[in-house]
Amino acid sequence: MTETSPAPPPTEGDSALLIAIPGAEPVVGAMRLAHDAVAADGIPAHVTVLYPFVPRDRLTNDVRRGISLTIGVFPAFAYRFDRAARFGNTTVYLAPQPASAFARLTDAVHARWPEHPPYGGVIDVVVPHLTVGDGLDGPTADALEVAAGQALTGHGPIVGRATHVALMTRDADGRWSVESQFALAEGR
């Protein structure tokens, strides 16, 4: 008798391009772990460039080269997060400045891979953001927005420099890890 292996898990949505924001972890990391399910699965504090991206089993060297060429024409840039905000009643986030620098990356990558619209095409206008909590009820979102704002006030703005876009993939156990990093152009 032979043992058969289970069918591989679905791969749609098991890769993402993002810019990690390490300076946000000490400020809102605990909040993210409590209120954003992907934090516990290995996704760091970040701004999404494109999700869902190419399924993990179709990430070829040509795709990686395409990412490098697409990302590499954009200059590295400084960013700042100094306020908490909301999408409706369910999502609390930190708003980046300049949002346009993140948005240009999303637009370029989506233009290169139009079959992978941001957030699966369910959002008409993509607003760059760093999610602190998602899928919340109204009172929880109210409290989290206040807590995130107070954390920023106590810490001061989160500042840094975006120099790379990470390609993250999700394994069969639902854990995310960095598969590759792609450099933004320096010195422009």
CATH code of the domain covering residue 123: 3.90.1140.10
Residue 5 included in any domain: no
Domain assignment present for 78: yes
* Blockwise average pLDDT, block size 10, the chain, 188 residues: 36 86 98 97 97 95 98 97 96 97 97 95 92 97 98 98 97 94 82
pLDDT given for residue 12 in this prediction = 55
Is position 156 within any domain?
yes
In a domain, 131, yes or no: yes
- Chain centre to alpha carbon of residue 39: 11
Q: What is the pLDDT of residue 11?
A: 53
Tell me if 40 is assigned to some domain.
yes
**Does residue 1 sit within a domain?**
no
User: What span, in angstroms and rounded, lies between the C-alpha atoms of 149 and 146?
Assistant: 5
pLDDT for the residue 186: 85
Q: What's the structural domain count of the chain?
A: 1
Residue 2 is assigned to a structural domain of this protein: no
Is the omega angle on the peptide bond into residue 75 within 30 degrees of 0, that is, cis?
no
Q: How far apart are CA 141 and CA 25, in angstroms?
A: 19
> 135 to each of 104, 142, 185, how far by Cα in Å?
27, 13, 36
Q: Which residue has the tokens 């109204």?
A: 138
Range of the domain at 139: 15-183
Torsion (CA) 173, 177, 180, 184 in degrees, nearest 10:
140
